[in-house]
């Protein structure tokens, strides 16, 4: 199901200049990140994530692979990527984390590098599956995707 803009909206301080707000709605959201990728300015993805993290009043940090910008890179993010694996003309919200406009193995590698990251809690969390498990899941999804063709 598509994610709503309200779910993805970040809360910011009134006094902060939002250089990460590319569509002028006063918030730095996934829609802004999608617009950045569409504009082919992929080199600024890391900068955008840094700016949005600094502006987030909840103190969350956003990393590559965090599809929904909730401050966590987890299985929900992996499901979005795996569902859209192989997509062309893609954007952040469907798993294009490197700005290449497709959802490919390079995007999976970026997600797996941050998998298990959680900036929403100060306590130690239960470890998520390791990269080997994720690779196995990705390969299974690729085989399923090819079988559907």
According to the model, what pLDDT value does residue 73 have?
Answer: 97
62 C-beta neighbours (distance < 10 Å), count: 27
The answer on pLDDT for 15 being more than 50 is no
The answer for 95, left when phi > 0, alpha when psi is -120 to 50, beta otherwise, is left
Q: How confident is the model at residue 133 (pLDDT cuts 50, 70, 90)?
A: confident
Q: Alpha carbon 6 to chain centroid distance? A: 16
Residue 6: per-residue pLDDT: 40
Distances (CA, A) of 49 to 8, 61, 148: 14, 8, 35
- Tell me, what's the pLDDT at 23? 87
The answer on pLDDT for 135 being more than 90 is: no
* Mean pLDDT on 17-31: 86
pLDDT higher at 126 or 106: 106
Q: Tokens for 6?
A: 């309200």
Tokens of 112: 């797996």
Residue 20 φ/ψ, nearest 5 degrees: -90, -5
pTM, to two decimals = 0.70
Q: What is the mean pLDDT of residues 25-36?
A: 91
Mean pLDDT along residues 98-106: 95
Half-sphere exposure of 37 (CA within 13 A, CB side): 23
3-state SS assignment for residue 12 = strand
What mean pLDDT do residues 6-12 have?
A: 44
Mean of pLDDT values over 15-37: 84
């Amino acid at each position: 199901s598509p994610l709503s803009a309200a779910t993805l909206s970040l809360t910011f301080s009134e006094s902060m200049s939002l250089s990460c707000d590319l569509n002028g709605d006063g918030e730095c959201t996934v829609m802004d990140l999608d617009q950045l990728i569409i504009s082919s300015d992929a080199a600024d993805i890391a900068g955008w994530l840094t700016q949005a993290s600094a502006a987030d009043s909840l103190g969350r940090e956003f990393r590559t692979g965090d599809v929904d910008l909730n401050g966590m890179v987890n299985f929900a993010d992996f499901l979005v990527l795996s569902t859209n694996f192989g997509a062309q003309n893609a954007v952040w919200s469907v798993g294009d984390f490197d700005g290449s406009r497709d959802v490919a193995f390079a995007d999976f590698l970026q997600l797996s590098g941050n998998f298990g990251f959680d900036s929403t809690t100060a306590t130690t969390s239960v470890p998520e599956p390791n990269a080997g498990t994720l690779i196995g899941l990705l390969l299974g999804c690729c085989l399923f995707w090819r079988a559907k063709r």
